[in-house]
C-alpha cells in the first residue's frame, strides 16, 4: 500500500468522511494557505472533513425548542474533537515513519492575534468588572472614548482549511465561500495536517457542486449581509479559479455569528442571538458599529458581557479538547454553511424552515424564549 493510501485509511478509521492530499505548490498563492508558516520544511498537506448530523442541524435551523441550540453546540464540540483525533492519528503515523507533521488547529487560530492565554481572559474580566464598579476608572473612560483597541480586523488564519479542501480535491468553494462537497453540501467541518513528507497530490474536483442557481438560499440566510448577492470575487487555488460571492467587511459576520445581534434586515426570523443591532450596508459604518457594540456589551455586564467573554476565551485558548470543555461550545448562526445540503430541493426546504423559524428573544427575567408566527 502506498504511503498516501495508508494515510487515507488512517484518517477514515479515525472518523473522517472525506480526505485528500495536496503538494504545497497548489497552496502558495495565498498567505493564509502557505503551509510553511506552520512548518518551514512543509512539502504536503492532508485535508479532511467530517460531516454533520442532519437531524440536529434541521432542528437548529427550525428552532424546534431551546434544546436544539444546545444539541447543535454539542455536535460542534464533538466534531471539533473528532477533527483533532483524526489529525493526531495522521500526525502519529507520519512521525512513526520519521517525518515531521503538525496537526493544525481547526478554528480560532489567527496569525496576527497574539494569544495571551488565561492572562488575556483575566484582563478582559477585569475590564468588565471595572465597567460595573468603577465607571470613572481611566481604563473605563478610555473604553468609552473609543480609543481602546478591542479588535484587530486582520483575522488571517494560520491555515485556510477551505483552500486546502479545494487543493486536495475534496470539494470546491461555493457562492457563500464555504467548502462545498457533492455528498454533504457545505455541512462539513474541516481539518488539516502539514508534513514534510513529499506526497502525490489528488486530482482537483473538476465540477463545482455549487451551481450558483440557489444563491438566493445562502445569501439571505446571512442576517449580517456579509455575502453579496450579485458582486463576485475570484479566488485562485492552484489551477482552480473560483468565482464566489463578494465578501463584505468581516465585522458584519462577527456581529452576527458572534451573537451580538440576531436580527438586522430580515424581521420575521432571527439567529439564536436575542440581541438586536442594526447592521448598516456600508462596510466602514459596520466596522464602527462592531466597535461600539463591543463597548456597549462590555459596559452592560451580565449576559452581554458573558457573550463577548466567550469570544475572547475562544480566541485566547482555541478549540482544542485540552482547553475547551464540550459544554462551552455555543453555535448561534453558521446559517450560510448549515443551509446548503447536497441538492437544491433540500437547500430551498432549509431556507423555508429558517424563514419560518421565528425569533429568539429575552423575557424580562433574562430567560431566552422562541417566538413563532411573526408576520
Could you give the CA distance from residue 343 to residue 354 in angstroms, rounded to a whole number? 17
Q: Tell the smallest beta-carbon distance from residue 277 to ligand SF4 (Å).
A: 13
For residues 103 and 263, which CB has a smaller minimum distance to ligand SF4 in the complex? 263
For residues 83 and 222, which CB has a smaller minimum distance to ligand SF4 in the complex? 222
For residues 63 and 347, which CB has a smaller minimum distance to ligand SF4 in the complex? 347
Task: Please report the beta strands in 253-340, taking only residues with DSSP state E, as ranges in sequence order.
Answer: none
Query: Which residue from 14, 334, 360, 370 is in contact with ligand SF4, where contact means CB under 6 A?
Result: 334
Stretch of residues binding ligand SF4 (CB under 6 A), selected from 17-25, 199-207, 216-224, 323-331? 216-224
For cell 515531521, name the residue.
Answer: 100
Could you give the CA distance from residue 261 to residue 248 in angstroms, rounded to a whole number? 17
Could you give the CA distance from residue 177 to residue 243 in angstroms, rounded to a whole number? 9
Query: Which residue from 80, 124, 329, 335 is in contact with ligand SF4, where contact means CB under 6 A?
Result: 335
Per CB under 6 A, which of residues 127..186 are in contact with ligand SF4? 174-176, 180, 186
* CA dihedral over 177, 179, 181, 184, signed as positive or negative: negative
CB 214 within 8 A of CB 176: no
Query: Which residue from 237, 314, 333, 360 is in contact with ligand SF4, where contact means CB under 6 A?
Result: 333
Query: Which residue from 72, 94, 214, 315 is in contact with ligand SF4, where contact means CB under 6 A?
Result: 214
Query: Which residue from 256, 270, 273, 357 is in contact with ligand SF4, where contact means CB under 6 A?
Result: 256
Q: What are 253's three cell numbers?
A: 459576520
Q: Tell the smallest beta-carbon distance from residue 256 to ligand SF4 (Å).
A: 3
Helical segments of 107-266, H only: 118-133, 138-145, 161-167, 215-218, 250-257
Could you give the CA distance from residue 75 to residue 59 in angstroms, rounded to a whole number? 12
Q: Does 82 bind ligand SF4 (CB under 6 A)?
A: no
For residues 91 and 215, which CB has a smaller minimum distance to ligand SF4 in the complex? 215
Closest CA to 48 of 76, 3, 11: 11
304 φψ region: left (φ > 0), alpha (ψ -120 to 50), beta (else): alpha
Could you give the CA distance from residue 61 to residue 270 in angstroms, rounded to a whole number? 10
- Which residue's Cβ has the minimum distance to ligand SF4? 174
For residues 7 and 187, which CB has a smaller minimum distance to ligand SF4 in the complex? 187
For residues 188 and 210, which CB has a smaller minimum distance to ligand SF4 in the complex? 210
Q: Tell the smallest beta-carbon distance from residue 185 to ligand SF4 (Å).
A: 6
Per CB under 6 A, which of residues 218..237 are in contact with ligand SF4? 218, 221-222, 224, 226-227
Could you give the CA distance from residue 61 to residue 353 in angstroms, rounded to a whole number? 7
The binding site for ligand SF4 (CB under 6 A) comprises: 174-176, 180, 186, 210, 212, 214-215, 217-218, 221-222, 224, 226-227, 253, 256-257, 333-336, 340, 347
Amino acid at each position: 500500500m502506498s504511503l498516501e493510501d495508508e494515510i487515507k485509511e488512517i484518517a477514515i478509521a479515525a472518523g473522517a468522511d472525506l480526505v485528500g492530499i495536496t503538494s504545497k505548490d497548489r497552496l502558495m498563492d495565498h498567505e493564509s494557505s502557505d503551509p510553511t508558516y506552520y512548518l518551514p520544511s512543509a512539502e504536503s498537506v492532508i485535508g479532511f472533513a467530517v460531516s454533520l448530523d442532519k437531524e440536529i442541524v434541521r432542528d437548529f435551523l427550525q428552532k424546534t425548542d431551546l434544546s436544539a441550540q444546545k444539541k447543535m453546540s454539542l455536535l460542534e464540540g464533538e466534531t471539533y474533537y473528532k477533527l483533532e483525533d483524526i489529525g493526531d492519528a495522521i500526525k502519529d503515523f507520519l512521525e512513526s515513519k520519521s517525518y515531521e507533521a503538525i496537526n493544525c488547529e481547526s478554528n480560532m487560530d489567527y496569525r496576527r492575534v497574539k494569544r495571551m492565554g488565561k492572562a488575556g481572559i483575566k484582563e478582559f474580566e477585569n475590564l468588565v468588572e471595572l465597567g460595573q464598579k468603577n465607571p470613572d476608572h481611566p481604563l473605563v473612560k478610555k473604553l468609552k472614548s473609543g480609543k481602546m483597541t478591542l479588535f484587530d480586523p486582520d483575522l488571517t488564519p494560520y491555515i485556510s482549511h477551505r483552500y486546502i479542501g479545494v487543493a486536495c480535491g475534496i470539494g470546491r468553494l461555493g457562492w457563500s465561500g464555504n467548502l462545498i462537497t457533492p455528498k454533504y453540501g457545505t455541512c462539513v467541518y474541516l481539518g488539516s495536517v502539514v508534513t514534510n513528507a513529499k506526497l502525490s497530490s489528488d486530482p482537483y474536483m473538476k465540477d463545482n457542486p455549487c451551481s450558483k442557481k440557489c444563491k438566493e438560499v445562502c445569501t439571505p440566510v446571512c442576517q449580517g449581509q456579509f455575502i453579496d448577492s450579485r458582486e463576485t470575487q475570484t479566488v485562485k487555488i492552484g489551477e482552480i479559479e473560483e468565482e464566489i460571492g463578494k465578501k463584505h467587511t468581516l465585522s458584519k459576520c462577527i456581529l452576527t455569528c458572534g451573537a451580538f445581534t440576531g436580527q438586522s434586515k430580515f424581521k420575521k426570523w432571527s439567529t439564536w442571538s436575542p440581541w438586536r443591532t442594526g447592521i448598516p450596508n456600508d462596510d466602514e459604518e459596520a466596522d464602527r458599529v462592531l466597535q461600539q457594540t463591543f463597548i456597549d456589551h462590555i459596559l452592560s455586564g451580565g449576559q452581554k458581557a458573558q457573550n463577548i467573554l466567550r469570544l475572547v476565551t475562544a480566541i485566547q485558548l482555541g478549540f482544542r479538547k485540552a482547553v475547551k470543555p464540550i459544554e462551552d461550545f455555543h453555535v448561534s448562526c453558521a446559517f450560510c454553511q448549515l443551509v446548503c445540503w447536497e441538492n437544491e430541493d433540500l437547500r430551498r426546504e432549509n431556507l423555508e424552515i429558517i424563514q419560518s423559524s421565528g425569533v429568539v428573544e429575552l423575557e424580562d427575567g433574562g430567560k431566552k424564549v422562541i417566538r413563532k408566527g411573526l408576520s
